[in-house]
């Protein structure tokens, strides 16, 4: 059977993740030390796990409302308000999803018609471009640069806008660059968007992981942006709940109503056990989040300092949990660097190009690892760099 005739041309045109091959090689090698993982190493805080267990023990094992449990939606609204000064109505403005990923997918599908252009700043998380393509839209890439701390500048945004522009994806705090957008940066972007019909999908999954005295600011809290923004967030990174698969989207009621139709038919409802655990996370999780953030911060200083010391320029990442050092001084491409490093010293990092062509010259190193692990990886990379000079 000719499966290529069965499969959708759009699906077939999506490139599989380029870094799969490194991980396949890494998995087949002994003694590999990875800085590749994009999820917290902490287990979910115990009280949150307990709330999930308790819900199971008391037999709370049925579907919830398509939108998610009302109590959870109310907690999400309270949380968004106290953290980011955002006001949402629990009954109409909040959808609980299967991870932030589902929220992103549903949002993009809800607004994209064939031919619509969706602006995506890169380097950024890998899912936006394929989802836009699947929805029949055209991804329009803006390359952010190290010179601007990988921020989206108003100039770059303005020059990417055409009459076909439907929406802008805001991937901040940014995986893989660690870039953030502070209030001033967001004001400048908002200035470009106000008075247009361009919508914003703001992926703020790393909102609680900002450092160096920076608190996350949501673009939806900037004047005039609330009505044109869906904020996507979730529990995976903040509360170390990756496996629970729980996220949410908040936005204007007319938009959320349509997004929820997609969710309703594709998913039904987010996992019930996870929703119970999430209520506990939002109510009482602040202290645990603070402890984890402090731990990440120490590792962040360690890895950034380490890269700079061994000669790989690494700007200070102010968000998420990745360092994004520049490897141009080696004369290697990101791909070559990662492959040779893996073979020579058995250290796995991710080429910046996995997150868009603008990532060339950089690699992503996660610091979701113990300090010993990070130190060992750095000393191996140091040895690798020295071997290149010989």
Partner 1 sequence: MNIKLLKLLSKDSRTSTADLATMLGISEEEVRAEIAEMEHEGIIRGYKAVIDWDRLDSAYVSAIIELKVTPKAGLGFEDVAAKVMKYPEVESVYLMSGVYDLNVVVKGKTFQEVAKFVAKELSTIESVNSTATHFVLRRYKELDVELLGTGKDERGSYLL
* Interface residue with partner 1, options 371, 383, 386, 387 (CB under 8 A): 371
Give the integer Cα–Cα distance in Å for 180 and 99: 21
Total chain residues near partner 1 (CB under 8 A): 27
Contact flag: residue 350 with partner 1 (CB under 8 A): yes
How many helices, marked H, and strands, marked E, lie in the chain?
14, 12
25: CB partners within 8 A, 6+ apart = 339, 342, 343
- SS3 label, residue 137: coil
Segment near partner 1 (CB under 8 A); pick from 15-23, 87-95, 141-149, 265-273: 15-23
- SS3 label, residue 143: strand
Give the integer Cα–Cα distance in Å for 383 and 262: 51
Give the integer Cα–Cα distance in Å for 166 and 55: 42
Give the integer Cα–Cα distance in Å for 157 and 142: 7
Q: Residue 154 in contact with residue 175, Cβ under 8 Å?
A: no
* Interface residue with partner 1, options 53, 74, 126, 161 (CB under 8 A): 126
Q: What are the DSSP E strand ranges found in 196-317?
A: 199-203, 229-234, 247-250
Give the integer Cα–Cα distance in Å for 243 and 11: 26
Beta bridge pairs of residue 146:
none
Q: Which is nearer to partner 1, 55 or 366 (CB)?
A: 366
Closest of 142, 140, 152, 145 to residue 180, by C-alpha: 152
Contact flag: residue 298 with partner 1 (CB under 8 A): yes
Segment near partner 1 (CB under 8 A); pick from 59-67, 166-174, 250-258, 295-303: 295-303
Joined tokens for residue 340: 């040779």
Contact flag: residue 54 with partner 1 (CB under 8 A): no
Segment near partner 1 (CB under 8 A); pick from 60-68, 193-201, 347-355, 379-387: 347-355
Q: Which is nearer to partner 1, 371 or 387 (CB)?
A: 371
Contact flag: residue 36 with partner 1 (CB under 8 A): yes
- SS3 label, residue 220: helix
* Interface residue with partner 1, options 7, 10, 14, 27 (CB under 8 A): 27
- SS3 label, residue 203: strand
* Interface residue with partner 1, options 118, 193, 348, 377 (CB under 8 A): 348
Joined tokens for residue 269: 């409802």
The interface mask with partner 1, positions 164-183, x = CB under 8 A, is: -----------x--------
Nearest distance from C-beta of residue 116 to partner 1, angstroms: 26
Contact flag: residue 70 with partner 1 (CB under 8 A): no
Q: What DSSP character marks residue 199? A: E
Give the integer Cα–Cα distance in Å for 175 and 355: 9
Q: Which is nearer to partner 1, 199 or 211 (CB)?
A: 211
Nearest distance from C-beta of residue 39 to partner 1, angstroms: 6
Nearest distance from C-beta of residue 23 to partner 1, angstroms: 4
- SS3 label, residue 43: coil
Nearest distance from C-beta of residue 163 to partner 1, angstroms: 34
The interface mask with partner 1, positions 299-338, x = CB under 8 A, is: x-xx--x---------------------------------
Segment near partner 1 (CB under 8 A); pick from 128-136, 147-155, 164-172, 296-304: 296-304
Nearest distance from C-beta of residue 167 to partner 1, angstroms: 23
List C-alpha distances in Å: 362 to 35, 94, 148, 198, 352: 14, 37, 15, 31, 5
Q: Which is nearer to partner 1, 206 or 276 (CB)?
A: 206
Joined tokens for residue 325: 């050092």
* Interface residue with partner 1, options 12, 17, 159, 357 (CB under 8 A): 17
* Interface residue with partner 1, options 11, 294, 343, 383 (CB under 8 A): 294
Query: Is 74 exposed, middle or buried (CB count within 10 Å of its CB: 0-12, 13-18, 19+)?
Result: middle
Phi/psi of residue 45, nearest 5 degrees: -50, 140
Q: Which residues bind partner 1 (CB under 8 A)?
A: 17, 19-20, 23, 26-27, 34, 36-39, 41, 125-126, 175, 294, 298-299, 301-302, 305, 348, 350, 354, 371-372, 375
């Amino acid at each position: 059977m000719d499966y290529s005739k069965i499969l959708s041309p759009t699906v077939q045109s999506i490139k599989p993740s380029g870094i799969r091959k490194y991980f396949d090689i890494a998995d087949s090698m002994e003694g590999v030390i990875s800085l590749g993982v994009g999820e917290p190493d902490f287990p979910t805080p115990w009280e949150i796990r307990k709330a999930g267990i308790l819900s199971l023990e008391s037999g709370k094992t049925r579907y919830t409302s398509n939108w998610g449990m009302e109590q959870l939606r109310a907690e999400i609204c309270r949380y968004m308000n106290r953290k980011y000064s955002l006001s949402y109505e629990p009954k109409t403005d909040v959808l609980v999803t299967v991870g932030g990923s589902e929220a992103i997918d549903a949002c993009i599908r809800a607004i994209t018609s064939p031919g619509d252009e969706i602006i995506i700043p890169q380097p950024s998380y890998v899912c936006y471009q394929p989802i836009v393509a699947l929805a029949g839209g055209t991804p329009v890439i803006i390359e952010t640069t190290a010179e601007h701390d990988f921020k989206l500048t108003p100039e770059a945004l303005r020059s990417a806008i055409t009459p076909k522009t439907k929406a802008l994806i805001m991937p901040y705090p940014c995986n893989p660059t660690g870039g953030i957008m502070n209030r001033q940066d967001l004001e400048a972007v908002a200035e470009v968007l106000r008075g247009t019909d361009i919508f914003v999908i703001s992926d703020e999954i790393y909102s609680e992981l900002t450092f160096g005295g920076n608190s996350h600011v949501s673009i939806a809290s900037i004047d005039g942006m609330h009505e044109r923004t869906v904020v996507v967030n979730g529990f995976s990174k903040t509360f170390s709940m990756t496996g629970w698969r729980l996220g949410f989207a908040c936005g204007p009621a007319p938009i959320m109503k349509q997004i929820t139709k997609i969710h309703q038919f594709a998913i039904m409802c987010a996992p019930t056990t996870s929703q119970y655990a999430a209520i506990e996370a939002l109510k009482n999780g602040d202290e645990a989040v603070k402890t984890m953030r402090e731990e990440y911060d120490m590792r962040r200083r360690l890895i950034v300092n380490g890269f700079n010391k061994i000669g790989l320029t690494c700007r200070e990442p102010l968000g998420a949990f990745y360092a994004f050092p520049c490897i141009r001084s080696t004369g290697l491409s990101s791909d070559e660097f990662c492959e040779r490093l893996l073979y020579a010293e058995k250290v796995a990092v991710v080429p910046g190009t996995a997150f868009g062509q603008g990532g060339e010259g950089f690699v992503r190193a996660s610091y979701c690892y113990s300090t010993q692990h990070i130190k060992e990886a750095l000393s191996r990379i140091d040895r690798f760099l020295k071997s290149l000079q010989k």
